């Protein structure tokens, strides 16, 4: 099973979209193995956005992600990284098709509702930044045989 990190960003929380966003992933069949409401500190944001530190937009990223609470989750399922990326839609909301999270809820690139890991390596790194191993819960779901073949 693959895992990925998602963040419902400050604008998603402030606009009351958290439930709708999370429900889409559950309805798809993915399982939350970690989930929490938190305030990201500047230090945590620096770790999360480390690869962007030298870029001109970096200060704005940190300022935004620390401006309000976020909801951070770890999703588990087959091909969860690629599928959640498709469900989110392109970073630029005006390029995101209707039916995607950004296509349905976002207008501005900097306020695009959600973050999701872009690959297996970044997912592992991001999950370790936001969750301790003890915060990730392994459990069977009664519905899994109706969602996942094999």
Residues 6+ apart with CB under 8 A from 97: 89, 103
Angstrom CA distances, 103 to 39, 45, 88, stand at 26, 26, 8
How far apart, in whole angstroms, are the C-alpha atoms of residue 97 and residue 123? Answer: 24
Residues 6+ apart with CB under 8 A from 96: 88, 89, 90, 102, 103, 106
Q: Any catalytic annotation for residue 115?
A: yes
Q: Measuring CA to CA, which residue among 61, 10, 57 is closest to residue 38? A: 10
Q: Which residues are catalytic?
A: 115
């Amino acid at each position: 099973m693959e895992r990925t990190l998602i963040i419902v960003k400050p604008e998603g929380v402030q606009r009351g979209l958290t439930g709708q966003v999370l429900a889409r992933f559950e309805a798809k069949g993915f399982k939350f193995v970690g989930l929490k409401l938190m305030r990201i500190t500047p230090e945590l944001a620096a770790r999360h956005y480390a690869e962007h530190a030298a870029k001109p937009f970096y200060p704005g990223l940190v300022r935004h992600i620390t401006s309000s609470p976020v909801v951070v989750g770890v999703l588990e399922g087959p091909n969860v990284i690629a599928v959640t990326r498709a469900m989110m839609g392109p970073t630029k909301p005006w390029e995101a098709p209707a039916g995607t999270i950004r296509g349905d809820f976002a207008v501005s690139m900097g306020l695009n509702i959600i973050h999701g890991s872009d690959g297996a390596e970044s997912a592992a790194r991001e999950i370790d930044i936001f969750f301790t191993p003890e915060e990730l819960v392994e459990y069977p779901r009664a519905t899994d045989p109706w969602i996942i073949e094999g």
